[in-house]
Amino acid sequence: MKVDKHLFQALAQFWNTAYSCFTFGKVDLVPTVEEYMALLWCSKIQVNRAY
């Protein structure tokens, strides 16, 4: 799987490990399963895997 280094660095910068969400200023954004699929370039969800 090819990883976009710059996208990964940008996402990691805003990831809040305490709440498992992205934090931009005072706004918390929790990605949906569909958004995770888009970020990870997954074509479908695999039920036997943890995302």
pLDDT for 10-44, tens place per residue?
A: 888 988 888 788 888 888 877 776 777 677 776 66
Is 32 part of any domain?
yes
What pLDDT does residue 50 have? Answer: 60
**Sheet hosting strand 21-24, strand order edge to edge:** 15-16, 21-24, 27-29
pLDDT at 47 over 70: no
CA distance 6 to 21: 19
Is 16 part of any domain?
yes
Residue with tokens 């995770």: 36
Is 47 part of any domain?
no
Burial class (CB in 10 A: 0-12, 13-18, 19+), 45: exposed
Residues spanned by the domain of 32: 5-40
pTM above 0.85, yes or no: no
Number of domains composing the chain: 1
